[in-house]
Amino acid sequence: MRNKNNRLICTSEYVRINGIDQFLYHLGTSFDNPVMLFLHGGPGSAESLFTGLFQDRWEEIYTVVHWDQRGAGKTLTKNPDKLPTIDLMLQDLFEVIQYLKKKYKKKKIVIFGHSWGSVLGSVFIRKHPEDVEYYIGAGQVIGMVENEQVGYNKVKEMIKNADDKKSLKKLESIGEYPGSKTVFDKEFLRKCNVVRKLQGKYKLGMEIGIDIWIAVLKSPIFKFSDIIAFMKIFKANSKVYSFLEDFNLRRESKEYKVPVYYILGERDWQAPHVIAEDYFKDIKAPNKDIFIIPDAGHFLMMDQPDLVFDALSKISKEEKNVQCFL
């Protein structure tokens, strides 16, 4: 595997986790740095191939470990019949963290959850706060129905303000959206696809441009089997999507036992930042802070890598200062 930046830590491996071999990708510049476990989105959308677009400077302050979750990326390729449920994934995550604690001789691990990863991370830190130094949610999901309702209303507002009759006709053609509950069946996914494309047109959500695909092809860990795995994610993660349909953090206690930080894109209406901001105001945690990244969408790390790094630097310094007083 190429190590273009001559990093001290640059390793890809399969580790036996919860009965199957799962893929981990480690990048860093010092064994003294905190270890950050990156929980990717989806479910099923491994982001280990995108590191070249945003992560180089992160490695100055963290050892960053990407995990292709069960049902995603290289772990799915290796285990096509070992598909995830939420309980399996929580146990997987627990075992990954135990492995990293032992490997790097750390008492706790930093969790960075992006999109679906913010769901998995938010559930996990309630169950195992003793293993987590602090939690960072990016593109933080609070509740699926609320997410879709607010995102739909925003793009409809933008379309009407632009007097874009063609786009309005497309949006209205899907009928009621999302309904009283999100159900990830073919009909919902068809409607969701229409909404996402219009959100992309109005720069309100995730935008996958040619630069992202070029970065994927240039990744030192890329294989063509990764593309095949990506095409299988909905079928492979059907049981996790069933869990996600009814997910709502507002129904849980707002008290957290670990520090909580949110980094949100100002123009992210796929996981609308306004919902996460509203929820964040009421949470109680040993330490907390929120960062709104201007001109950034759902893939905020790629849209504004320098500003996201600045937020991570502030979080890292804040946590180091706290540790000095303990």
SS (H, E, C) the chain: CCCCCCCCEEEEEEEEECCEEEEEEEEECCCCCCEEEEECECCCECCHHHHHHHCCCHHHCCEEEEEECCCCHHHHHHCCCCCCCHHHHHHHHHHHHHHHHHHHCCCCEEEEEECHHHHHHHHHHHHCHHHEEEEEEECCCCEHHHHHHHHHHHHHHHHHHCCCHHHHHHHHCCCCCCCCCCCCCHHHHHHHHHHHHHHHHCCCCCCCCHHHHHHHHHCCCCCHHHHHHHHCHHHHCHHHHHHHHCCEHHHCCCECCCCEEEEEECCCCCCCHHHHHHHHHHCECCCEEEEEECCCCCCHHHHCHHHHHHHHHHHHHHHHHHHHCC
Domain membership of residue 80 (yes or no) is yes
Predicted local distance difference test score (pLDDT) of residue 1: 55
Predicted local distance difference test score (pLDDT) of residue 4: 63
Q: How many domains does the chain have?
A: 1
Predicted local distance difference test score (pLDDT) of residue 129: 98
Predicted local distance difference test score (pLDDT) of residue 99: 98
Domain membership of residue 90 (yes or no) is yes
Cα–Cα distance for residue pair 122/111, rounded to 1 Å: 10
Domain membership of residue 79 (yes or no) is yes
Domain membership of residue 233 (yes or no) is yes
Structural domain containing residue 46: 9-145+205-324
Domain membership of residue 27 (yes or no) is yes
Predicted local distance difference test score (pLDDT) of residue 120: 98
Domain membership of residue 314 (yes or no) is yes
Domain membership of residue 285 (yes or no) is yes
**What's the token pair of residue 108?**
């706790």
Domain membership of residue 299 (yes or no) is yes
Could you tell me the CATH number of the domain that includes residue 44? 3.40.50.1820
What CA dihedral angle connects 249, 83, 13 and 37, to 10 degrees? 0
pLDDT by residue, tens only, the chain of 326 residues: 566 667 899 999 999 999 999 999 999 999 999 999 999 999 999 999 999 999 999 999 999 999 999 999 999 999 999 999 999 999 999 999 999 999 999 999 999 999 999 999 999 999 999 999 999 999 999 999 999 999 999 999 999 999 999 999 999 999 989 988 888 888 999 999 999 999 989 988 776 777 788 888 889 999 999 999 999 999 999 999 999 988 999 999 999 999 999 999 999 999 999 999 999 999 999 999 999 999 999 999 999 999 999 999 999 999 988 766 55
Cα–Cα distance for residue pair 67/300, rounded to 1 Å: 19
Contact 260, 137 (CB under 8 A): yes
What predicted TM-score, i.e. pTM, was given to this entire model? 0.94
- Look at the chain and count its residues: 326
